[in-house]
Amino acid sequence: MSNALTSEQIADFLRANPDFFESNFDVLLNINVAHPHGGRTVSIPERQLIATREKVKLLESKLSELITFGQENDALSEKIHRLTLGLIACTSQDQLIDTLYLDLLDNFQVPHVAVRFWNVVLPESPTPEYQPVAAELLQFVAAMTGPYCGSHPVYETNLWFGEHAPHLKSYALIPLKQDDTFGLLLLASENAERFYTDMGTVFLTRIGDVFAHCLARHLSLIPAPPSE
């Protein structure tokens, strides 16, 4: 019968005797293991050092990613802050829309922006923002709990961009709400990766909230009928 210990028994012994190598340090130094990146062998302490260095490199890479992500968020937050101040300073509906369109183009590089209103009193000279929309779209927007991003337009919304419609590949729909939904802010891009399904929508939500709040000062909203 063989008296050789199995690898599992050796592992159990070392776990039960964590001070073994402290009292038998020469054994530790004379054990060689395969180098993780080559054919030669190294001592266990050297192998541990290699593993530690690799972990440090990985952590440094992750930290660099987090720093870059934080810097990008800070820059985006600053842009949204400036847009917010610009919208608050507007004194008319037309100025609000023009300010939003221009800021999204110049500072956020969003080339295509459209707005539609409903449940509001029509002005004497309605602008394109008051064009009627399909009942299905009204229901879709009313049910939204936040912005929608994706590669497919919702109903006829891509047609709002006229001759550019065939070239658009990604969309962001942002509902405009106060007590009730009264409109939609639509962003579009030829870049399929600009507005993707799983992207974060915190900043889009903030833009929509500020825009809707400022618009409510200049639009005559029609309250929804009370539910029975």
Structural domain contains residue 70? yes
Do 81 and 101 fall into the same domain? Answer: no
- What's the pLDDT score for residue 69? 78
End position of a domain, from candidates 89, 108, 138:
89
Range among 29-33, 64-68, 151-155 rated most confident: 151-155
Centre a 10 Å sphere on the Cβ of residue 110 and count the other Cβ atoms it contains.
17
Together in a domain, 81 and 114: no
> Is the domain of 112 the same as that of 42?
no
Residues 106 and 207 in one domain: yes
196 shares its domain with 158:
yes
Per-residue pLDDT tens for 2-45? Answer: 567 788 887 788 788 877 767 776 766 666 656 666 666 656 66
pTM, rounded to two decimals: 0.72
How far is C-alpha 145 from the geometric centre of its chain's CA atoms?
16
pLDDT, tens only, 199-224:
999 999 999 999 999 999 988 888 76
Position 83, amino acid: L
What is the per-residue pLDDT across 136-152, written as a single tens digit (0 to 9) for each?
Answer: 999 999 999 999 999 99
Domain that holds residue 53: 7-89
Domain count within the chain? 2
Residue 228 lies in a domain: no
CATH of residue 111's domain is: 3.30.450.40
pLDDT of the residue at 155: 92
| Pair 82, 129 in one domain | no
- Asked whether residue 85 falls in the same domain as residue 96, the answer is no
Q: Which residues, other chains included, contact 185 with Cβ-Cβ below 8 Å and sequence gap of 6+?
A: 100, 113, 114, 115, 173, 174, 175, 176, 207, 208, 211
Q: Say whether both 13 and 112 belong to one domain.
A: no
**Residue 61 scores a pLDDT above 90:** no
* Structure confidence by residue, pLDDT tens digits, 103-125: 999 999 999 999 999 999 888 88
How many C-alpha atoms does 127 have within 13 Å on its Cβ side?
11
Which residues are CB-contacts of 137 (< 8 A; sequence separation ≥ 6)?
Answer: 154, 155, 156, 157, 184
Domain end, chosen from 89, 106, 121, is at 89
Asked if residue 141 is part of any domain, the answer here is: yes
pLDDT at res. 136? 95
